[in-house]
């Protein structure tokens, strides 16, 4: 196993845990950790459930991808775009004054993971 292979698999497994934590925050926005991250408490249950489901679904995709003998580049690219997009949206909402700075800090992991995914894509064969 190459260093690049170890890097991407480790990042994918970390993404699984990170997404599970994020899903918890979305599912339970009134919880202390979610409130600390600046989540709004009064979100209807259907939106909380759907968002948490999709975050867990992506976490499952990361786990599936990490276990594959060959890592699928298009899925890693989609993951990089998704994680960078989440960070960008949260950053924009902070700049607009709609969420606290802690929301940006809570999604810094997404930015780091997007960077790792992009780095891996740049270092692997097409």
DSSP 56-77: HHHHHHHHHHHHSSS--HHHHH
Domain count, the chain: 1
pLDDT at 126 over 80: no
pLDDT value of position 39:
87
Report the distance separating Cα 110 and Cα 21, nearest Å: 12
110 within 8 A of 84, measured Cβ to Cβ: yes
What value does the mean pLDDT of the chain take?
Answer: 94
Mean pLDDT of 15-28: 97
Parent domain of 75: 3-123
pLDDT value of position 15:
98
**pLDDT tens across 38-96, in order?**
888 899 999 999 999 999 999 999 999 999 999 999 999 999 999 999 999 999 999 99
Lookup result for tokens 């480790």: 10
pLDDT value of position 47:
97
């Amino acid at each position: 196993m190459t260093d690049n292979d170890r890097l991407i698999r480790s990042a994918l497994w970390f993404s699984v845990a990170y997404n599970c934590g994020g899903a918890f925050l979305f599912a339970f926005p009134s919880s202390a950790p979610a409130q600390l991250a600046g989540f709004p408490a009064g979100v209807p249950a259907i939106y909380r459930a759907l968002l948490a489901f999709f975050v867990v679904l992506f976490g499952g995709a990361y786990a599936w991808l990490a276990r594959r003998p060959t890592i699928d580049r298009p899925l890693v690219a989609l993951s990089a775009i998704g994680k960078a997009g989440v960070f960008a949206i949260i950053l924009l909402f902070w700049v607009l004054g709609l969420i606290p700075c802690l929301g940006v800090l809570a999604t810094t992991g997404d930015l780091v993971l997007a960077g790792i995914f992009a780095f891996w894509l740049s270092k692997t064969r097409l």
